[in-house]
Amino acid sequence: MTCKDYLVSETDFIIQNCGKCGLKATNPRPVEGEIGRFYQSDDYISHSDTRKGIISQLYHTVRTITVRQKVKLITDLSPQKGQLLDIGCGSGYFLSASQQAGWKIMGTEPDTNTRRQAAERTYIQLKRSIFELDDTRKFDVITLWHVLEHIHELQETLDWIRAHTLSKGHVVIAVPNYHSWDAKHYKQFWAAYDVPRHLYHFSPGTMRTLLSRYGFEIVRQKPMLFDAFYVNMLSTKNRDGKPAYLESFWNGIRSNWAAYQNGGNYSSLIYVAQAR
């Protein structure tokens, strides 16, 4: 499949599929030292934190709700509220809410400006990468909220996460699902392909295989219901040049209903995995 970078460069990228395991990958993938320019857009809300336009305002409204849900999820996993690492923490909203809930927090964020926003929000020092953290420290919960698909060093990162997760600790990973109704409906216009920022593309099967290889067992799978509406809105914008709000709302309902009826293939999924 050929997809276009609608956000920044208008460049075409190919998404290739592994015939053996089903994992999809963007090709060519910009090297780590060159990927930064593909994030330089005011429309990339998780980095710019902009509130301009209807889409960004909806994003912030929904984020307020989902941050509370995320904090509840990790607290249910670890009621003692121990050590939390959020990889790719963005502007720090989730980290700040977790800190206020009583967690001992640590975060990483590669983008300089976004890392500064997170540091101002949490009042802690944040690192650019997990490989800059204290190598002896271990965590009760490690989270990656729509981050794993952006990571160049996928194998090294998962090795590091397993080595720094406490016994019976958890990793929580949220990623888009290319088996969802909206992915199949919009095809090359599906916004969650988001080439070339998304280097890898996952399904429940590929995620299960991947995490098992690195010593984790998926114990829970949760939908991100709001994502279907947001992704549908961006997908119609990719297709038509502007978002089709009514169509996006209706198709968000269709996508969530299809997932509810047929195996849980929601637009985005949260995988809760426990260290073996």
| End-to-end alpha carbon distance in the chain | 36
CATH of the domain at 193: 3.40.50.150
How many structural domains is the chain composed of? 1
- Distance CA(98)–CA(111), nearest Å, equals 21
Q: Which H or E run includes 183?
A: helix 181-186
Q: What is the extent of the structural domain holding 128? A: 2-275
- Distance CA(35)–CA(77), nearest Å, equals 34
pLDDT at 182 over 90: yes
Provide the pLDDT for residue 40: 85
Rounded-to-5 percentages of helix, strand, coil across the chain: 45, 25, 30
pLDDT at 95 over 90: yes
pLDDT at 61 over 80: no
Mean pLDDT for the stretch of residues 120-127: 96
Banded model confidence at residue 62, pLDDT cuts 50, 70, 90: confident
- pLDDT, greater one: 198 or 263: 198
Banded model confidence at residue 46, pLDDT cuts 50, 70, 90: low
pLDDT at 47 over 70: no
Mean pLDDT for the stretch of residues 191-217: 97
Distances (CA, A) of 55 to 51, 117, 125, 138: 8, 21, 31, 38
Provide the pLDDT for residue 58: 72
Both tokens of 68, joined, read 């509370």
Provide the pLDDT for residue 55: 63
